[in-house]
Amino acid sequence: MREEKYEVLHEKSEVVLRAGRLALSAGLGSFRVRQIMQTVANALGIKNTSLVTLTEITSTCHSGTQCITEVASNASIGVDANRISLISEMIYDLRKKLITHEVHCINERLDVIERSKRLYNSLTFGLWAGLACFSFTILLGGDYLEGLGALLGAFAGQYFRAALFKRLYNQFVANGLSVILAGFIYASFYTVLNELSLWQHPGSAGYVGALLYVIPGFPLVTGGLDFAKLDFSSGISRTIYSWVIIFLATVVAWVCAKTIGYTPADLKSPYDGNITIWLILVFCLSFTGVLGFALMFNSPIRVAFTAASIGAVCNTFRFALLDVGVLGFVAAVYASFLVGLIASLVCHYFRFARITISVPAITIMVPGSLIFHGFFDLGEDNLGSAAHYIVKAVLVIFALPIGLAAARFLTDKYWRVDKQVISNRPV
């Protein structure tokens, strides 16, 4: 009898761990992964406690006097917003008892989630990256030729990176090689137009913009949210992973620029003219930029358009604050707080996973240009300028999850308490 109970607990524990592993591989933060595991465990009539880091889960399931501890790890780190949405729907159905609370029924649903394929092919992902980087470049003060060069570079880089990921290349190798390709494509585009006397004095916006698809905005934000829930093991690992990718990309970009003899100019002010026209342009570019990033995260179309709409409104609000003299990191807090409030309202009426709306919407606010320019100056031994740009970038990066977390604390009672409780709302 005891062995039979143990076998049953073992089956249930495997299902709980499998749900957590799928959630972690999709890019969810540790709090949501634990929440999903606890929901599945409760549905199966057992208790679960778990420790979640960037790539590993240690799960312990209890039933009476028996317990089982299992460990799982993910070899790769990525984001799949479609899978997050499918997991969110499964958790919603479990809470509403639309799925029978039995091991085989939950396993069947997890099979569907695990078999889900990418919604778009590699060429399309490259196009989304190019669209986002084009918008970023214009927002950074670049002209439309710089934007076109950034689009071509980002398209080639993202397509190449996706191809390397399919072949299971190491993430650092894949990112480094894709940055080299993107920088080379942009520089070649500039050289050709320069020889034709069509483009002679480009700024740095295009070169920087062509590489911004590498910035890991999703783990940067989810790492900050992990810190907000006092989950330091996951927060530290996500943050370090993000900064290692950023450091790698910037060093490779600097070496590539020095090799081909390209010297980016100083960043230009993006605004010069009528403020109303500029804010309308910011709204349009923010919409297309967020849309590109959301689709690059494999978001369904309706989720991507919702995130783009929210991001366009809030990023335009941020630029309006900057125009009246508000400091950059303070404007980022206000804008990300507004993103969190609107995302909570939207998810209250629609069955969207909140993180698939809020994180892409604030990715457009990640100061990738400041980061890249700071490390460029660091490579050129311009320490004063490098410190200026990097400190400004770090302050904004800290500000974004602060505003988002503040909105979550305000709108979600399960973020305001420290107890391990289960939300009745979608993740």
pLDDT of residue 188: 84
219 vs 305: CA distance, rounded Å: 21
Query: Token digits for 11?
Result: 């089956």
Per-residue pLDDT of the chain (427 residues; tens, 9 = 90+): 455 455 688 899 999 999 999 999 998 888 889 999 999 999 999 999 998 988 899 999 988 788 889 998 887 788 899 999 999 999 989 988 888 888 989 999 999 999 988 888 889 999 999 999 999 888 887 788 888 989 999 999 999 998 898 888 888 899 999 999 998 898 888 878 877 777 666 666 778 888 889 988 888 888 888 888 888 888 898 889 988 998 888 888 888 877 766 665 555 555 656 778 888 999 999 999 999 999 999 999 999 999 999 999 999 999 999 888 899 899 999 999 999 999 999 988 888 888 889 989 998 898 877 888 788 788 778 888 888 888 998 899 889 999 998 998 888 777 777 654 444 444 4
Burial profile 53-62: b = 16 or more Cβ within 10 angstroms, e = fewer: bbebbebbbb
User: What are the phi and psi torsion angles at 157 (to 5°)?
Assistant: -65, -45
pLDDT of residue 371: 82
Do 101 and 45 form a contact (C-beta atoms < 8 A)?
A: yes
pLDDT of residue 418: 62
Query: Token digits for 357?
Result: 């709306």
Query: Token digits for 216?
Result: 């890991």
401 vs 395: CA distance, rounded Å: 11
Do 113 and 103 form a contact (C-beta atoms < 8 A)?
A: no
pLDDT of residue 422: 43
The H or E element that residue 302 is part of is: helix 301-323
Closest CA to 131 of 115, 154, 110, 113: 154
Q: Strands across the sheet with 66-73, in order? A: 47-52, 56-63, 66-73
Amino acid at 180: I
Amino acid at 308: A
326 vs 79: CA distance, rounded Å: 33
Pairing, β 47-52 against β 66-73 = unpaired
**Exposed, middle or buried: residue 145 (CB in 10 Å: 0-12, 13-18, 19+)?**
middle
pLDDT of residue 192: 81
Query: Token digits for 249?
Result: 């990309």
85 vs 28: CA distance, rounded Å: 11
CA distances from 303 to 32, 38, 82, 359, 362 (A): 19, 26, 9, 12, 14
Q: What angle do CA 120, 126, 130 make, to 5 degrees?
A: 130
Closest CA to 132 of 161, 153, 162: 153
| Residue 37 CA to its chain's centroid (Å) | 22
pLDDT of residue 66: 85
Amino acid at 353: A
- pTM to 2 decimals? 0.88
